[in-house]
Amino acid sequence: MTFNLRVLAAAGTFAALGLPALAETEIKIGYALAPDSHYGVAAAKFEEVLLAETGDQFSFKHFPSSGLGGEREVIEGLQLGTVEATIVSSGTLANFVGDTGVFDIPFLFRDLSHARAVLDGPIGQEILAKFDAVGLHGLAWGEQGFRHITNNRNAIETPADVEGLKIRTMENPVHLAAFNAMGAAPTPMAWPEVISSLQQGVIDGQENPLSVIVSVKLDEVQEYLTLSGHVYSPAMLLVSKPFWDGLNDEQKAAFEKAAAAGVEAMRGYVDNVETSGVETLKERGMKVNALSAEEKAKFQEAIASAYEGYYETYGKDLVDSIVNFE
Ligand code: PAF
């Protein structure tokens, strides 16, 4: 019997016993948040659609809640081919494809639909395609929502209120520059260390979208929530390039379809939590204030010096074309 016939015969026997066929390829998918978060919901939808499209060719093993380490480590695992897939924030993406950082510029996007249109349009897709050159394949842009500041020191209404605030930022130079310009004392830190650092008082605060604040229950370690919406937080569904290169065209099409469905589920989750999340957090005891348009403008003014750096790095034309994208 040839090797292929033996595999088919074995697969038939396994199916008769109700066991997965031998030929199944396991997809290890890692993400930083819980199964009931926007990442968990997207990963589950991605699995559901991929399995529906490809039958028993693949099986999934999920590693939620940073089960494979911080986002940078997981992305490195994809490059090495030891992990097949991940959903990550843009936190460390600029370390892999520098141009990605342009989407991390504060006050760049007007609202969610503006951001989604840019990411799904030519500017976003061109940057997504650059991941192939660094051992990764970007399947689709997802999102977390707009980031807001939480802390244990004081309510934040003006830039003076963040003066000296020990705030954790993602390991992202664009965010770091903005908080430095505001006069805060930012500390870049990988996500798995954040909760214990807040509990121990190593840092006063952090910033993340409602999707994260609600699903991680940050209200248990943070008193104040300021709806600053200072920056949009993109996410990405990535697969390992060595893994991607081993797929045939039909399988690749199934992955693309599944990724689109996963992102749709993620954005649906974000839409929902952006409207219901504030009430939930107030009920859980957080002291919440929203920045008015005038208050936000003061923060924009405070980071004007950081904008000079962003123009230098990414080009004013690109930044303007994102801002003016209809
Ligand atoms: O703040 C971060 O590092 C990210 O937003 C998180 C929570 C890991 C989700 O990707």
Which residue ranges form the domains of the chain, and what is each CATH number? 3-323 (3.40.190.170)
- Closest Cα partner for 101 from 193, 233, 267, 191? 233
Q: What is the DSSP letter of 265?
A: H
Residues 6+ apart with CB under 8 A from 33: 39, 40, 64, 65, 212, 215, 216
Distances (CA, A) of 154 to 160, 206, 224, 226, 294: 11, 13, 7, 10, 20
Q: Which residues contact 129 (CB under 8 A, 6 or more apart)?
A: 138
Q: Do residues 102 and 109 touch, judged by C-beta distance below 8 A? A: no
Residues of the chain with pLDDT under 50: 1-21
Strand bridging mode 224-240 / 287-290: parallel
Strand residue runs (E) in the chain: 25-31, 58-63, 85-89, 136-151, 166-169, 185-188, 205-209, 224-240, 287-290
Residue 56: predicted pLDDT: 87
The best mutation among 31, 89, 233 to test binding of ligand 1, ranked by most ligand atoms within 8 Å of the C-beta, falls on 89
Ligand 1 atom 3: residue of nearest CA: 191
Residue nearest to atom 10 of ligand 1 (CA): 89
For ligand 1, mutation pick of 71, 74, 236, 273 (most atoms within 8 Å of CB): 71
Q: At 268, which amino acid appears?
A: G
Per-residue pLDDT, 19:
47
| Short-list 221, 228, 229, 216, CA closest to 203 | 221
Q: For residues 214-228, b (16+ Cβ closer than 10 Å) or e, as one string? A: bbbebbebbebbbbb
pLDDT of residue 23: 63
Instruction: Identify the residues whose C-beta falls under 6 Å from ligand 1.
Output: 32-33, 71, 88-89, 91, 144, 170, 191, 208, 212, 233
User: Which ligand 1 atom lies nearest to the CA of residue 168?
Assistant: 1
Looking at ligand 1, which atom is closest to the CA of residue 206?
1
Structure tokens at 33: 């948040």
